[in-house]
Structure 1
Amino acid sequence: MKTLKITAMVVLVCVMSAFTLIKTHAGYHVGDVAADFSLKNVNNKKVALADYKDAKGFIVIFTCNHCPYAKAYEDRIIALDKKYKKLGYPVIAINPNNPTIQPADSFDLMQERAKEKGFTFPYLFDEGQKIYPVYGATKTPHVYVLEKTKAGNVVKYIGAIDDNYSDETAVKTKYVENAVDALLKGQEVPVKTTKAIGCSIKA
């Protein structure tokens, strides 16, 4: 009887531990407060959300060098930054990939890509792959629109940039633009979550 009780307790502890692990690594949902980070930019300087004192929020995009989906969106990401940075919602791009698994996403090649494309936004390296699991990102690109509030940076939208990665001219719904436009007007985000379409994160 004593053995059965001990076995039951061990099973219960294991189940609770597994649940805690899943909950811890499930990532953010709309309404959650996103933690800040401090990551190295391609200019070798650390960048944190707290550095942007006058920002109203952020367009955090997990992206990378090698993924064809990420490449297809590069010009659109630059356009998002140019349009919304001056309105208080700058783009913060983060490369979540492990360069030992995907060498094309090394920090040196990030610097080259940023220069080649003329990135107007920080392009940060998630060294050790510590930040993307906290957010719950699974793809490149994967977007998190955050609104700065007294409670912190609240997640307002998660998902894709728009509804057509392969053909910008055929886009019907611009999810990120619609989300930020709504926030700037003090309105509810019309579509709060969509499925991120892209390459799986290489960790």
Structure 2
Amino acid sequence: MVLLESKISLKTGDSAPGFLLMGIDDKMHSLDSYAESKGLLIIFICNHCPYVKAKIDAIKQIHEKFNENIALVGINSNDSIEYPDDSFENMKKIANEKGIKFDYLVDEKQDVAKKYGAICTPDPFLFDQNRKLIFHGRIDNAMNPDDTATENTMQKNIEKYLAGEKIEKDFDPSIGCSIKWKGQQT
């Protein structure tokens, strides 16, 4: 397991790169699929990473709390040949087991992760109504899978955005496993 910290790639104010990806609902999803939402939270996740496993309840809580205003989308960009736990079929299985109700999409060609500059799982990107980046960073301040969060960073930033307040710290790196790129040993 290679531990990585997310890096700034998209800058605050940059537009969300478009995508067209298959979801575990066997439907295609694009950036336009979420046009009605006041905001969009895209989180690069996978099935096997202990950091994602530790955050899945916090991610589900964000979805449940804000789903009327903020669309939440999980994207799995891992190489499922080398990491079969991250296969599309296992995405469906894990989503069912964990009660995941947000859209969970597969980035089989890994193009979307590269466009966003995602490098770890989880790696969250929060966009406003115009799909401009307003926050790139952590779900909460529990930086190891065994830690207990004392601050719900993403929830606080979503609340600020919805209240029309400025998010002071627009980049607060997430930590997790590296995205498993095709053709690279990690």
Asked whether the two chains share a fold, i.e. TM above 0.5, the reply is yes
Structure 1: gaps (5+ residues): 1-25
In structure 2, C-alpha distance between the alignment counterparts of 1:138 and 1:27, rounded to whole Å? 10
Deviation at 1:167, TM superposition (A): 5.1
1:19 is matched with which residue? none
Q: Who is 2:94 aligned against?
A: 113
Higher relative contact order (CA 8 A, sep 6+): 2
TM-score, with structure 2 as normaliser: 0.88
Cα offset, 1:196, TM superposition: 1.4
What letter corresponds to residue 106 of structure 2 in structure 1? F
Which of residues 47, 59, 64 is equivalent to 2:46? 64
Alignment equivalent of 2:162, drawn from 184, 189, 196: 184
Q: Choose 1 or 2 for highest CA Rg.
A: 1
Identity of aligned residues (%): 34
Is the Cα–Cα contact under 8 Å of residues 27 and 133 in structure 1 kept in the other structure? Answer: no
Partner of 2:85: 104
RMSD across aligned positions (CA): 1.4
Match in the other structure for 1:124: 105
Which of residues 162, 176, 185 in structure 2 aligns to 1:198?
A: 176
Q: 1:74 aligns with which of 23, 42, 56?
A: 56
Contact 1:182 1:190 in 2 (8 A): no
Q: CA deviation at 1:171?
A: 1.9
The question of whether the paired residues in 1 share the 8 Å contact of 2:125 and 2:135 is answered with yes
Q: How many residues align?
A: 173
Once the two structures are superposed, residues 24-62 of structure 1 have per-residue CA deviations (whole angstroms, 9 ceiling, x without a partner) of xx7311111112211100011011221224201111100
Aligned partners of 1:178 and 1:190 also within 8 Å: no
Would you say the 8 A contact 2:49–2:176 is kept in 1? yes
Matched, 1:141 2:122: yes
Q: Please give the TM-score of this superposition, normalised by the length of structure 1.
A: 0.81
Structure with greater helix percent: 1
Given candidates 74, 88, 91, the residue that maps to 1:93 is 74
The answer (yes or no) to whether the contact 1:179–1:191 under 8 Å persists in 2 is no
Q: Would the aligned equivalents of 1:38 and 1:47 in 2 still touch at CA under 8 Å?
A: yes
Unaligned runs of 5+ in 2: 1-7, 182-186
CA distance in structure 2 between the partners assigned to 1:167 and 1:188 by the alignment: 31
Q: Corresponding residue for 2:18?
A: 36
| Superposed displacement of residue 190, structure 1 | 2.7
Q: Describe the superposition over 1:143-166 as per-residue Cα deviations: whole angstroms up to 9, x where unpaired.
A: 0000022xxx10011111111043
